[in-house]
């Protein structure tokens, strides 16, 4: 049965009352036509519950706009640009970083710019500026669930260098307030290749506000630097926007549930509204939190990753850098969604504590 508009419906009931399922939910392909993002292919996904999000096919199928019933979940920035505008050196990545619900960092490096064995590595890696190919939309009934699925393949490859393939599936269903991302990263080259990945999940107002807080059960929290150390006692709380705020990054050791999943959320209790992430910890053992209370730059990101933010050359020197062998693949799983009432916030808080 499908929960929709406060009632339960069967497949037969919904089909009798609609001429076309797109009336209720669906995936619509399109193209952005203005500004720096002109020409980028997009897929807009509606679940019928008020949950809607936009997938950027030309940005590794990352997710930009996301909202529930007109209330934003994601923080957005006007720097968003097409992959042709990507500046790979230094901090150039930020010149086309548009925020959004999910930005994928990797696949061979994330974090600050550095040089590793003579290779210049720019901020947060290249994959989010690579276009997906073989994109497919699948919509249809599976029992009494009407499912929506978008798949595609993004390749990070260079002559005489890495050849990593990201196979991504984004799925949801009619009536749902969440989405799931299933990624498979594979080394399609013939030499061992470093592999680092981080999911930059960016939440903004009204999820983030002075009335909001982070819900997370963790074993330990560690500030990245002195700026973060000054705010470590308030890592879970938010201030009003400040013009001169210096970003704070915290590294969490999250508690893992009996099902192998980590759960975290940012909730605005005054509104009874929030956003959550739920992800498999076996492949993503680390969680970073980016707290930025700047005017305009008013955002908190929850960032599951396979490493703490450590320079790649340091990981290599310490013998901790992961390499994918030729043909080797690894799967990642992440859920992101909206909490749309006080009751849902309380239920998720109980789920975190279990």
Cα(23)–Cα(12) distance, rounded to whole angstroms?
15
Structure tokens at 338: 């909206």
Q: Provide the edge-to-edge strand list for the sheet that holds 41-46.
A: 26-31, 41-46, 51-56, 62-68, 71-72
Q: How confident is the model at residue 73 (pLDDT cuts 50, 70, 90)?
A: very high
Q: Which residue has 């957005």 as its token pair?
A: 76
Could you count the other beta carbons within 10 Å of the beta carbon of residue 12? 9
What would the pLDDT profile of 111-170 be if each residue is shown by its tens digit?
999 999 999 999 999 999 999 999 999 999 999 899 999 999 999 999 999 999 999 999
Who contacts 38 (Cβ-Cβ below 8 Å, separation ≥6)?
32, 82
Say if residue 35's pLDDT is above 90.
yes
Q: Indicate the pLDDT class of residue 96, thresholds 50, 70 and 90.
A: very high
How far apart, in whole angstroms, are the C-alpha atoms of residue 323 and residue 191? 9
The domains found in the chain, sorted by start residue, are 2-353 (2.70.98.10)
Q: Which 8-state DSSP code applies to residue 129?
A: G
CA distance 350 to 354: 6
- The average pLDDT across 84-93 equals 97
pLDDT computed for residue 278 by the predictor: 99
Q: What is the pLDDT averaged over residues 204-208?
A: 99
pLDDT digit string, tens, across residues 312-348: 999 999 999 999 999 999 999 999 999 999 999 999 9
Task: Give pLDDT, residue 354.
Answer: 74
Tens-place pLDDT, residues 233-271: 999 999 999 999 999 999 999 999 999 999 999 999 999
3-state SS, residue 74: strand
**pTM score above 0.95:** yes
Mean pLDDT calculated for residue range 186-200 = 99
What is residue 309's predicted lDDT score, i.e. its pLDDT? 86
Whole-number pLDDT of residue 124: 98
H or E stretch covering 263: strand 261-268
């Amino acid at each position: 049965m499908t929960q929709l508009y406060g009632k339960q419906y069967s497949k037969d009931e919904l089909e009798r009352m609609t001429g076309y399922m797109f009336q209720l939910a669906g995936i619509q392909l399109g193209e952005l036509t203005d500004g720096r993002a002109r020409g980028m292919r997009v897929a807009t996904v509606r679940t019928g519950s008020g949950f809607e999000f936009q997938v950027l096919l030309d940005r590794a199928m990352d997710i930009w706009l996301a909202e529930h019933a007109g209330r934003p979940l994601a923080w957005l920035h006007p720097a968003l640009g097409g992959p042709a505008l990507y500046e790979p050196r230094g901090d150039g990545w930020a010149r086309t970083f548009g925020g959004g619900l999910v930005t994928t960092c990797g696949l061979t490096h994330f974090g600050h710019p550095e040089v590793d064995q003579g290779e210049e590595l720019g901020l947060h890696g290249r994959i989010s500026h690579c276009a997906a190919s073989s994109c497919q939309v699948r919509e249809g009934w599976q029992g009494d669930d009407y499912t929506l699925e978008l798949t595609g393949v993004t390749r990070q490859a260079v002559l005489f260098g890495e050849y990593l393939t990201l196979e991504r599936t984004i799925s949801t269903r009619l009536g749902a307030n969440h989405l799931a991302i299933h990624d498979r990263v594979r080394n399609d080259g013939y030499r061992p290749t470093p592999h680092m990945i981080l999911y930059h999940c960016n939440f903004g107002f009204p999820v983030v506000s002075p009335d909001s807080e982070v819900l997370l059960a963790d074993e330990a929290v560690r500030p990245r630097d002195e700026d973060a150390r000054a705010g470590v006692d308030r890592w879970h709380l938010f201030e009003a926007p400040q013009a001169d705020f210096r970003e704070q990054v915290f590294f969490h050791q999250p508690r893992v549930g009996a099902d192998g999943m980590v759960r975290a959320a940012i909730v605005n209790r005054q509104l009874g509204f929030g956003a959550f992430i739920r992800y498999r910890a076996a492949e993503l053992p680390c969680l970073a939190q980016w707290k930025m209370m700047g005017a305009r730059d008013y955002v908190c990101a929850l960032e599951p990753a396979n490493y703490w933010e450590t320079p790649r050359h340091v990981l290599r020197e310490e013998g901790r850098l992961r390499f994918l062998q030729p043909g080797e693949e690894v799967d990642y799983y992440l859920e992101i969604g909206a909490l749309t009432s006080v009751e849902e916030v309380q239920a998720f808080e109980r789920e975190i504590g279990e």
